[in-house]
Structures are given as structure tokens and as C-alpha cells.
Chain A
Amino acid sequence: TQLLEQSPQFLSIQEGENLTVYCNSSSVFSSLQWYRQEPGEGPVLLVTVVTGGEVKKLKRLTFQFGDARKDSSLHITAAQPGDTGLYLCAAGGTGRRALTFGSGTRLQVQP
């Protein structure tokens, strides 16, 4: 089983602050995904990264895949209350295989 460790587990910040969350593993992945889950809903895909060193931007969110394809980070600039939620990284699902999810980072952005 490919284990994905996320840190921090919980993060509470004020609106306007920047933050970074991390996803680490000892395994090499061909791709890695980030999902966001809002209360009472299922996870929704934010981005897929596939190349070592790749950086993708989605408005105020910046995703980076490690050079060795074992880790990833998500940086949020000027966080807003709408960013509140559970952020999950997931990997390992190619072909017929299912994704393995990390334990998640629960983010609370206070207005």
C-alpha cells in the first residue's frame, strides 16, 4: 500500500494570509492529484500533476510536484473564507488501479 502523509493535519488562519500544505510519500508516483472537500459534499478534483518539478496554478492556488515525484505541495495566496475545507492528495491510480488518498489537511480561514 502506498502511504501518503499530509501535513499539517489542521490549519486555522486569518483571511489574507498565505499557507502551504504538504503531501509526502516514500513511493514514486506517475501522477498525483489534489482534491478539495467542502462540508457535506464529496471531494472535487482541483488538479493533476504528472511531471517531476511541474508547477500548476489555479487562480490563487499553486501546486508543485517534487522532482523525484514522491511529494507535492499546495500553496494558497491571500486565503479567503471560501477556501475553507479538507484538502486531500491522492495518487497511485493509473490504468485499472484505484487511488490512494492521504489523510487530509483541514483548513479553516477566518474572516
Chain B
Amino acid sequence: DAGVIQSPRHEVTEMGQEVTLRCKPISGHNSLFWYRQTMMRGLELLIYFNNNVPIDDSGMPEDRFSAKMPNASFSTLKIQPSEPRDSAVYFCASRATGGFYNEQFFGPGTRLTVL
């Protein structure tokens, strides 16, 4: 199994540009989570999906952030327009069907730098 796949691994962009982060969950997992990690705030949940439906997006910082999951094997997190304070490592994680204790498998992350 390839695990959770994220792309790109690194992204450097200028303030005001649109950024799209991509995630492919582990096949068969029905829950997908987007997190943001910074030194100051630690690991924060942004949004999560169950069976492709957004369940809780209360962690999304503001309207500049949006996430979609058009099918069970793909999700995107978009930031438009990006700002320097969005610089962080963004992780995608997925959970196995029937995983009562919510064991989550994380991707390697996308390191985003907004200049």
C-alpha cells in the first residue's frame, strides 16, 4: 500500500497567488482529514470528510480556504488568495472504514511558504 499521498511536497508562492494542495487517501478509507501544523499553534484540524461529505469545517481559518472531495480517492485544499501567515506544513490523513478508535494515517505533508 502506498499510504496517503500528498502533492506537492513543497510549494513556494507569492502573496495573493492561489495555492492548491492535493491528497490521495489510502484506498478503502472513508474518512479524510486536513490539518495545518506550525510551531506556534501545533497541529490544527482544518476540515474533515466522511464518505466524501464535509462533516466539520469549523477549523477552516476564513473564506480564503476551501476544500473539496469529489470522489473517494481525491481531495484538494485551496487557498485563494494566499497570505504570508498561511505558511505552514499541511497534512492530509485518512481513516480506515470501521476504525472505531480513529487510527489516522498521515501523509508526508506539503510545506507551504508564502512570500
Binding site for B on A (CB under 8 A): 31, 33, 40-45, 48, 50, 88, 93-104
Contact = CB atoms under 8 A, between A and B. Distances in A.
Interface string B40-79: 0011010010100001100000000000000000000000
Q: Is the interface of A mostly helix, strand, loop or mixed?
A: loop
Contacts, number: 55
Contacts of A102: 42
B102 A42 contact: no
B93 A42 contact: yes
Most buried by A among B55, B91, B104, B108: B104
A94 B101 contact: yes
Nearest to B55: A96
Nearest to A104: B42
B103 A42 contact: no
Contacts of B106: 42-44
Interface string B90-105: 0101000000111111
